[in-house]
Amino acid sequence: MKKSRGILVLVLAALLTAGMIYMAAVGVGESSTGAAKNINLGLDLAGGVSITYGTVIDNPTAEQMSDTIYKLQKRVEKESTEAQVYQEGSNRINVEIPGVQDANEVLEKLGKPGSLEFWDYQGNVILEGTDIADARAVSTKDQMENVSYAVSLTLTDEGAKKFATATEENLGMPLPIVYDNEIIREPTVQAVITNGQAQISNMASFEDAEELASQIRIGSLQLELKELRSNVVGAQLGQDAIVTSLKAGAIGFGLVIVFMIVFYLIPGLAAGIALTAYVALMMLLLNAFEITLTLPGIAGIILSIGMAVDANVIIFARIREELGTGKTVRSAMKLGFQKALSAIVDGNITTLIVAVVLLLKASGSVKGFAQTLALGIVLSMFTALVVTRLVLNALFAVGIKDPKFYGVQKERKTIPFLGKRKICFLVSAVVIVAGFAAMGIQAGMGNGALAYSLEFQGGTSTTVPFQQELSIEEIDAQVKPIVAQVTGDTEIQAQKVQGSNDVVIKTKELSLEQRQQLNEALAQAFTLDEEQISAESISSTISSEVRTDAAVAVVIAIIFMLLYIWFRFKDIRFAGSAVIALVHDVLTVLAFYAIVRISVGNTFIACMLTIVGYSINATIVIFDRIRENLGTMRKKDDLKDLVDASITQTLSRSINTSLTTFIMVAVLFVLGVASIRDFALPLMAGIVCGAYSSVCITGALWYIMKIKFVSKE
């Protein structure tokens, strides 16, 4: 690259980055036109609409309620992945959708959850809504590029049998679709359908198809529902808490940039520019793709920032190694990017596998986590491999060519990590066993194996009509202490109901005596009429189905990661030891939750998934170096020495990546509010655990498998 071109690249990079920052964040506030203002925020950060439905029948079964809640959850995910659906009392269902201020708009989009039936032309019911597994609007093009719209139906196994019989008996005849005893469409049977897949064609537009698909999906609920009330509720976290968290994130990010520049000099400066562009792009794309941002989503962003830093650290470590062998700066940069590529690609793809599987299989906030993670991974690879490279080459071209500005890696003495493997294995086993022991002891004492939060075990929702409107800060300072004193628990969620002085307070399950005590305490403190305070039991917002979806998705993701690592490294022992190390990290963090008794809530799943991504990425880097060194290994070389050398060579990467990510999360922990701390503390433990396992466990596991199970290659 010529000097003039280098200057041009630097000027363009500065202008583009500044422009993106301006578009994304400048003037955040009421008068802002920045993209950051328009990012959809979750219920915890911005509030939304709360709708309460009641069942038409008086005494629905637990199975009917559970099935209806799950299907309604899947339905409202089209509005937001962060929507919450949970049971209130015995026959009511609450739907909370973040980032919306118009309840009527939501109700129109959701439609009235009524009964759906397919009739034959004599008026006999041939299918019910529960026979439909899914309905989606689709568009297709013919050979002439003409676009047509349809609704694609997927039937249940039982529904497929019914539909096969119905289409055979009514070939060429219309089959009316009846919603709440009103015919909404009369498609004609054009073929006998036996595979459980059908299409309603000739829709006027995609919107028309989506409206019909929506009615079919909502009509597939086991229970017919009626709207009881709808409210606009405020954020669970006050504006001060959000501003504080944003400042913490900015401070943490700034410290990471400073660390990169101090430690890596000119390459660190290039990384700082690339990472700044990454953050600006992330804000712009969160807005463009209308992704709802909550605490779990922030976990995905933190992980992807960590991976963006990691990619740069891998590259810079390689450049230093090449300079240490006497290469010129130009050659070292070229070889550094080339040799770092495989580790970066493999690490990001394995984590991307987790994100994609979660997007396809998971539900609720887990899907929101996957969205931000997938977006972040793609952006981190782009900024590390394209932006950093362009800026670094431009800095070299303008005259910064002295190797001292890039750092020269001195040859390190190999550290005998494998010689300490038994001690490391013992330490890991003790921590994991201690975690299970703590869970057993707590369960035996009746406290629950883990400190399950409202999201996992449900509780009591108390609606209090105050005489004047209270701010979130006033609720935190004046109301929550009274609630905590009565309930003996500090886990309290409070939301304002806009347009009134009502505040909804969610706590752990309260007995009748505790409810009475709370009513009396609040009435006395705020001069209220006890009779106007109402309370209902609520179910968990993370249903068993959502948890099952997440667990199944993680298992599938691990299987695909194992297959990918096996394919890339041509050795099942790499894949096997990577998965064992991953399980080790998850169990260790679970032990941390159990021993410290951190609240297991909405961020728990996101935290554990973050650990999965972080763990596998750290492992890949070491395995990539082992694979590379195996290619140059001579017969007289000792395998143990090779593994120790590989871990030592990647040690600076392991430490620096963990340190930079730890800095960001630690600042959030120090400056954030309580819910942020409950989210940041286990992440910090996971980062430390991931660094420990990648250095002390993974290489040792592969070595043991290698010498115990020698292949015939």
Span 460-491, pLDDT tens digits: 989 999 989 888 778 888 999 999 999 888 77
- The answer on 657 and 638 residing in a single domain is yes
User: Which value, in Å, is the radius of gyration of the alpha carbons in the chain?
Assistant: 29
CA-nearest of 485, 537, 533 to 508 is 537
> Does residue 666 share a domain with residue 639?
yes
151-155, 278-282, 698-702: which has the highest mean pLDDT? 698-702
Q: In angstroms, rounded to a whole number, what is the distance separating the alpha carbons of residues 212 and 216?
A: 6
Instruction: Give the pLDDT of residue 92.
Output: 87
Domain tally, the chain? 5
**β-pair type (92-98, 116-119):** unpaired
Distance CA 297, CA 369 (A): 5
Residues contacting 611, CB < 8 A, separation 6+: 585, 586, 589, 683, 686, 689, 690
Q: Which of 82, 571, 77, 57 is nearest to 297 (CA)?
A: 82
Question: Angle 698-708/572-596 helices, nearest 10 degrees?
Answer: 140
CA distance 241 to 253: 18
CA 440-446-450 angle, 5° bins: 55
Residue for token pair 């959701």: 110
> Phi and psi for 641 in degrees, rounded to 5?
-65, -40
Residue showing tokens 């000739």: 202
At position 428, the amino acid (one-letter code) is S
pLDDT at 31: 42
* Region label for 476, one of left (φ > 0), alpha (ψ between -120 and 50) or beta (otherwise): alpha
Same domain, yes or no, for 135 and 92?
Answer: no
| pLDDT surpasses 70 at 604 | yes
Q: Is residue 486 part of a domain?
A: yes
Residue 410 forms part of a structural domain:
no
Do 169 and 84 belong to one domain? no
Distance CA 349, CA 245 (A): 30
- Length of the chain, please? 713
- Are 389 and 397 in contact by the 8 Å Cβ rule? The answer is no
Q: In the structure encoding, which two tokens stand for residue 554, read together?
A: 């993680």
pLDDT mean over 134-138: 85
- 166-225 per-position pLDDT tens digit: 888 888 888 888 876 788 888 888 888 888 888 888 888 888 888 788 777 766 677 778
Same domain, 572 and 423: yes
Backbone angles phi, psi at 48, to 5 degrees: 170, -150
Give the integer Cα–Cα distance in Å for 355 and 603: 16
d(CA 586, CA 558): 12
Tens-place pLDDT, residues 353-392: 888 888 887 766 777 778 888 888 888 889 989 999 999 9
CA 136 vs CA 155, 186, 198: distances in Å: 12, 18, 11
CB-based burial of residue 654 (10 Å sphere; 0-12 exposed, 13-18 middle, 19+ buried)?
Answer: buried
**266 and 396 co-located in one domain:** yes
**Once rounded to an integer, what is the mean pLDDT over residues 573-587?**
91
Q: Is the pLDDT of residue 103 over 70?
A: no
Instruction: Identify the residue with better confidence: 691 or 213.
Output: 691
Q: Is residue 71 part of a domain?
A: yes
CA distance 365 to 216: 24
Tell me the pTM. Answer: 0.75
Per-residue pLDDT tens digits for 312-334? 998 998 999 899 888 999 999 99
In the three-class reduction of DSSP (H, G, I as helix; E, B as strand; rest coil), residue 97 is classed as strand
The domain boundary residue, chosen from 171, 197, 220: 220
Are residues 318 and 343 part of one domain? yes
CA nearest neighbour of 463 among 44, 43, 52: 52
Residues 476 and 551 both lie in one domain? no
Please check whether residue 515 lies inside any domain of the structure.
Answer: yes
The CATH number of whichever domain residue 637 belongs to comes to 1.20.1640.10
> What is the spatial distance between Cα 123 and Cα 109, in angstroms, rounded to a whole number?
29
The enclosing domain of 131 has a CATH number of: 3.30.1360.200
**Residues 214, 270 within the same domain:** no
Please name which of 539, 591, 572, 542 lies closest in space to residue 709, comparing C-alpha atoms: 572
Q: Would the CA dihedral through 557, 558, 562, 568 be positive or negative?
A: positive
Return the pLDDT at 32. 46
Q: What is the DSSP string of 266-292?
A: HHHHHHHHHHHHHHHHHHHHHHHTTPP
Domain shared by 386 and 422, yes or no: no
Q: Is residue 413 part of a domain?
A: no
Residue 495 lies in a domain: yes
Look up the CATH number of the domain holding residue 474: 3.30.70.3400
443 part of a folded domain: no
Residue-number span of the structural domain to which 481 is assigned: 459-538
Query: Cα(644)–Cα(695) distance, rounded to whole angstroms?
Result: 10
Q: Looking up tokens 């006890």, which residue turns up?
A: 530
Same domain, 528 and 550: no
Instruction: Spell out the residues 6+ positions from residue 651 whose beta carbon is closer than 8 angstroms to its own.
Output: 412, 415, 695
- Residue 506 is assigned to a structural domain of this protein: yes
Do 121 and 104 share a structural domain?
A: no
